[in-house]
Amino acid sequence: MVLHFLVMGRVQGVGFRWFVQREATELELRGWVRNTEEGDVEIVAAGHPEDLAELRASLKRGPRGSRVDRLIEHTLEEKEARNLDSFRIEGAW
């Protein structure tokens, strides 16, 4: 299963991408997380439905200092996961 998430709220400058990477890696998900120019955080994650449900719960909670106002979720086609490997942060220095 492959899911695309968009997290809105106070989610940049609070360690949100590192939080997502840690949670996703512990769940052995494949994919990536990145900031958007609009101030949101975007995630694509592939894995077992139960693990993706755990990630969803973590995204709603967020790390300390964050505030999640809205979580938008879309299911992607399985072919979207073909080139995904270990979970990574995109655009991080």
User: Active-site residues: which are they?
Assistant: 17, 35
Residue of 1, 5, 4 whose CA lies nearest to 71: 5
Beta strands in 1-66 (DSSP E): 2-10, 30-35, 41-46
> In whole angstroms, what separates CA 56 from the centre of its chain?
8
**Neighbouring-strand partners of residue 61:** none
